[in-house]
Chains A and B, each alone.
Chain A
Amino acid sequence: MKRTTIDLWVGIFVAIGIAAVTFLSLKVANLTPQSAEASYPLYAEFDNIGGLKVKAPVKSSGVVVGRVASIELDTQRYLAKVTLSLDKRYQFSRDTSAEILTSGLLGEQYIGLVQGGDPDNLKPGERIDLTSSALVLEQLIGKFMLNFAEKGPAKEGSPAGSSGAQ
């Protein structure tokens, strides 16, 4: 008779444990595009990725559409090669552009995708050709100071140019 009460309690205990883990995985962590089946890879090359980290979000119009899967240095051309893992539901055209953005002034960095006009979509494993690098604050200030010192033709070069890291 006593044993059944204990069994009941232990049953409740185990159920609470399962519920807690489920809560942690569904509500606290994001169990969304993690599995390989629901996502596809794309890659993009950047001159400078700034403070971008693996698992940083990939957003389009502010919506998270995937995550950064890996970051490595291409030792042939010395460019950062970033692999993105995107949700299968979201397809992008071949002339999509990728840029590294910062959320807020000092927030984390993420990749923003801007859809282009090409009717064909990027296939898994293809490269996003149009990229713009991270804004590196020091370089930005350096350029501004330079322009300020020269004073003359103020419209020399826009600081957000794609090959600003030379």
Chain B
Amino acid sequence: MFETLTAPLRHLGHVTINAIWRLGFASRFLAAILLQSGQSFRRLNLTIREVYFAGVLSLIIIVVSGLFVGMVLGLQGYNTLSRFGSADALGALVALSLLRELGPVLAALLFASRSGSAMTAEIGLMKATEQLDAMSVMAVNPIARVVAPRFWAGVISMPVLAALFNVTGIFGGYFVGVQLIGLDEGTFWSQMQNSVDLHNDVINGLIKSLFFGIAVTLIAVFEGYDATPTAAGVSSATTRTVVTSALVILALDFVLTAFMF
């Protein structure tokens, strides 16, 4: 009887301790990656290869999603703004929402589910098939050879993808606002330029995406490296990457926004 009452409590305690333990391990893992990063830059082709997989292959999904998000912003923004007679400010609305929030956050969420999960699965499978063991037995550090190049590729790719998401989103908004609805093209751009500030909006948005890139890629490579080396272990690690990344992105976004704006 007592047993059944305390069981959920004990489970909660176990989960909490486990989470803290993993957080500590992840921090140590980040330190190890940073220490072992020399090779990622000395042998740049290792990192370039990973930029190809993490960044270039995400281009399509980023461009298409950015375009649609911008178009939706254009439609919804026009509906709301026209009620207050300020449809002229549509350009500003689209650009500011993208640059400050939607661009970095959505690009990071897409990146986590497209490239982050792929990284986890790849590293997890390398672990499950003893490729990481084989590497370390060959006196090659898997963190330096496998993990660090992927980490840096993610950190480099994320701001590029976010910037691209912003640009395509703005064009999506432009397409809906100017081409479909028929707002004045000059007003659209000048309203945007008047209200968007280079440092406050553009640069801060990119700094956000840099933080997201670090967080998502760290989660992805950590989950892969820490995965239970079985098929089930790798698949649950992949799921965890996407879920944890999404939560961390949103929480981090709140913290960064509070600091920046």
Chain A binding site: helix, strand, loop or mixed by DSSP?
A: helix
Which of A19-27, A76-84, A131-139, A149-157 contacts its partner? A19-27
Q: A13-B160, A29-B197, A57-B194 are in contact. Are A24 and B56 (CB under 8 A)?
A: no
Residues of chain A from 22 to 53 with CB closer than 8 A to chain B in the complex: 23-25, 27-31, 34
B49 on interface, CB distance cutoff 8 Å: yes
Contacts of A55 in B (CB 8 A): 197
Contacts of A28 in B (CB 8 A): 95, 99, 166, 170, 192-193, 196, 202
B74 on interface, CB distance cutoff 8 Å: no
Q: Mark B243-261, 1 if CB is under 8 A from A, else 0.
A: 0000000000000000000
Q: With A and B bound together, what is the CA distance between A24 and B202 in angstroms?
A: 7
B201 on interface, CB distance cutoff 8 Å: yes
Chain B residue, CB-CB nearest to A11:
B48
Is there an interface contact between A20 and B160, defined as CB atoms closer than 8 Å? yes
Is there an interface contact between A7 and B198, defined as CB atoms closer than 8 Å? no
Contacts of B95 in A (CB 8 A): 28
Residues of chain B from 26 to 74 with CB closer than 8 A to chain A in the complex: 45, 48-49, 51-52, 55-56, 59
Is there an interface contact between B189 and A27, defined as CB atoms closer than 8 Å? yes
7 additional contacts (CB under 8 A) given A7-B48, A17-B163: A10-B55, A12-B56, A20-B163, A28-B196, A30-B197, A34-B199, A106-B84
Is there an interface contact between B49 and A6, defined as CB atoms closer than 8 Å? yes
- CB proximity of B229 to chain A, nearest CB, Å: 29
A3 on interface, CB distance cutoff 8 Å: yes
A-to-B contact residues, CB < 8 Å: 3, 6-7, 9-10, 12-14, 16-17, 20-21, 23-25, 27-31, 34, 55, 57, 64, 104, 106-107
B207 on interface, CB distance cutoff 8 Å: no
Offer 14 A-B interface pairs, CB within 8 angstroms, sorted by A: A10-B55, A16-B160, A20-B166, A21-B206, A24-B166, A25-B198, A25-B202, A28-B166, A28-B192, A28-B196, A29-B193, A29-B196, A29-B197, A34-B199
Contacts of A29 in B (CB 8 A): 193, 196-198, 201-202
Contacts of A31 in B (CB 8 A): 198
Contacts of B84 in A (CB 8 A): 106
B126 on interface, CB distance cutoff 8 Å: no
Q: With A and B bound together, what is the CA distance between A20 and B163 in angstroms?
A: 6
Q: With A and B bound together, what is the CA distance between A117 and B101 in angstroms?
A: 48
Chain A residue, CB-CB nearest to B189:
A27
Q: A13-B56, A21-B206 are in contact. Are A64 and B194 (CB under 8 A)?
A: yes
Is there an interface contact between A9 and B52, defined as CB atoms closer than 8 Å? yes
